[in-house]
Amino acid sequence: MAQASDYEDWRKWHSARYLFSERTKHFISELDIDLEKLLNSITFGMARSRAKERVIEAIIQGKVGGKWTSQDTPASNMMNEILSYPLARMIVSCVDDEYLNRRYALAEAENAAYYLQNEDDIEVVFTVGRELGLKADKEGGSIAVPFEDFVETTKDMSAKEWKLVNQDLRDGMIYLDKRRYIRILKEKIYHSIVKDLPVAVNKDIQGSLSGMVADVEVKLDELKDTFVEHDLGEVEEGAYPPCIKGLIKEQAGGKNLSHEARFALTSFLHTIGFDEEQIIAIFSKSPDFRLDLARYQIEHVIGKISSTEYTPPGCAYMKTGGLCKKPDSLCGTDWMNHPLTYYSYKKKKGED
Ligand code: SF4
C-alpha cells in the first residue's frame, strides 16, 4: 500500500498534472484499489464523474481541462483527479472508436503540455521527458536533446520549424528553448497515450460503465455529425494529385499538418470548387479539429476575412516545403508545375 510519504513525494512532483507518467501509474498501483469498488462504489463516484467529464471535454473542446491540479487542492479531490485518468481510459476503450482514441490522447497531451510550459521547476519537465525516452540537459539558456531522439520524435512533424536544416545542431545535440522542447515532448506524450488505447475492458467493466459510455457516444456522434460528406458536385477525387491525396490521408490519420500544408490543402480545395463547409468537413476528421479555429483559418485563406483569395502553391513551393509526396509519372513530365495542372489534366483525361 502507498504510504503518506509516497503521496507527498508524488504530489510535490505532479499535483495530478501528469497522469500518464510512470510515477503516477506506480502510485495508483500502490494504492491497491479494488477494481469492482472503483467501478461501482459510491466512494469513487466523483472520480467516475470526472472520468466521463475528461472524455467529453476531449470530444467537445479537443483538450482536457485540469480540474483538481493545484498544489493546495484538498487530497480527496486530487485523488479523484488521479483516479479519473485510468477510468477515462476505460470509458474510451469501451466506446472502442479509433478516432476517439486519437482525439482523447491528443487532448490529454494538450493538457500536460500546458502544465509543463508553466512548470517552474525544469527538473519536473525533464523527468517527464526522460520517462518517455526524450533525454534532455540544460546547457546555458537552452535545452540540449540528443540528435537521434529529436529525429525520432519529430518524424511526423512536417512544419519548417522542425526540419533538420533549421536546427541548432552541435556535437550530436539539438539545442531548443523550453517552448520547443515541450512541443516535441507533447508529441511523445500523445504517442505514449494513444499506443496503449484501447485498454482491455471485460464485460464487468463494460457493464459498470455502460451509462457513461452511452453519454460519451452521444457526444461523439454529435461531433461526427459535422463530418457529413457534402455533395462534391463536379469534383473528382480520383483526379487529385498525389500531394493532395497524401495531405488528406495524413490529416485524417491524425498527423499534425504544418501551417504550410493546411494552406496548400485549403487553397487547392477551394480553387477546385469546395465551399467553406466542404473544406471544414475534410478537416473535421483530424483528431485535433477545433471548429472555431478551423473556420477562422479557412475563411482567411478563401478570402472571407482578408478579402485576399489565395491561390494554391505550385509544385516548386510544394517541393521546397516537403509537401510533394509520392509524385507519379504524370508529375514527372517536364510541363508539370502545379497541382491544379495535374488535376485539370487528369479530370479532362477522365472525360475523354
Ligand atoms: S509534382 Fe506537383 S502535383 Fe505532383 S505530387 Fe508533387 S507537388 Fe503534387
The protein residue with its alpha carbon nearest to ligand 1, atom 1, reads 331
pLDDT in the model for residue 7: 57
Residue 48 domain-assigned (yes or no) = yes
Q: Quick one: 111 and 198 in the same domain?
A: yes
Q: Quick one: 241 and 219 in the same domain?
A: no
Any idea which residue has 478551423 for its cell? 294
The domain containing residue 210 runs over which residues? 4-118+194-223
User: Ligand 1 pocket check: which of 265, 268, 318 to mutate, most ligand atoms within 8 Å of Cβ?
Assistant: 318
Q: How far is the CA of 163 from the centre of ligand 1 (A)?
A: 20
Q: Quick one: 150 and 258 in the same domain?
A: no
Please report the atom of ligand 1 found closest to the CA of residue 327.
5
Q: Quick one: 288 and 255 in the same domain?
A: yes
Please report the atom of ligand 1 found closest to the CA of residue 341.
3
Distance from the first to the final alpha carbon of the chain: 75
Q: Quick one: 206 and 242 in the same domain?
A: no
The protein residue with its alpha carbon nearest to ligand 1, atom 6, reads 324
pLDDT in the model for residue 30: 84
Residue 182 domain-assigned (yes or no) = no
Residue 338 domain-assigned (yes or no) = yes
Q: Quick one: 219 and 244 in the same domain?
A: no
Q: How far is the CA of 188 from the centre of ligand 1 (A)?
A: 31
pLDDT in the model for residue 50: 95
User: pTM for the whole thing?
Assistant: 0.72
The protein residue with its alpha carbon nearest to ligand 1, atom 8, reads 243
Vertex 63 angle, CA 58 and 67, to 5°: 95
Do 286 and 223 contact (CB within 8 A), yes or no? Answer: no
Q: Quick one: 78 and 210 in the same domain?
A: yes
Please report the atom of ligand 1 found closest to the CA of residue 326.
5
Q: Quick one: 171 and 60 in the same domain?
A: no
Q: How far is the CA of 231 from the centre of ligand 1 (A)?
A: 26
Q: Which residues line ligand 1 (CB under 6 A)?
A: 241-243, 315, 318, 324, 327, 331, 336, 339, 342
* Cα separation values, 40 from 63, 119, 206, Å: 27, 35, 12
Number of domains in the chain: 3
Residue 187 domain-assigned (yes or no) = no
Q: Quick one: 216 and 235 in the same domain?
A: no
At residue 27, φ and ψ (nearest 5 deg) are -60, -45
Q: Quick one: 303 and 154 in the same domain?
A: no
User: Ligand 1 pocket check: which of 265, 272, 315 to mutate, most ligand atoms within 8 Å of Cβ?
Assistant: 315
- Tell me the pLDDT tens digit for each residue of 160-210: 788 888 899 998 999 999 999 999 999 899 989 999 999 999 999 999 999
Residue 184 domain-assigned (yes or no) = no
Query: Does an H or E element contain 64, and which?
Result: none
Mean pLDDT of each 10-residue bin along the chain, 352 residues long: 57 70 84 93 95 95 75 76 94 93 91 89 87 86 91 78 87 92 92 92 96 96 68 65 92 78 92 86 79 81 74 91 92 93 86 48
Residue 189 domain-assigned (yes or no) = no
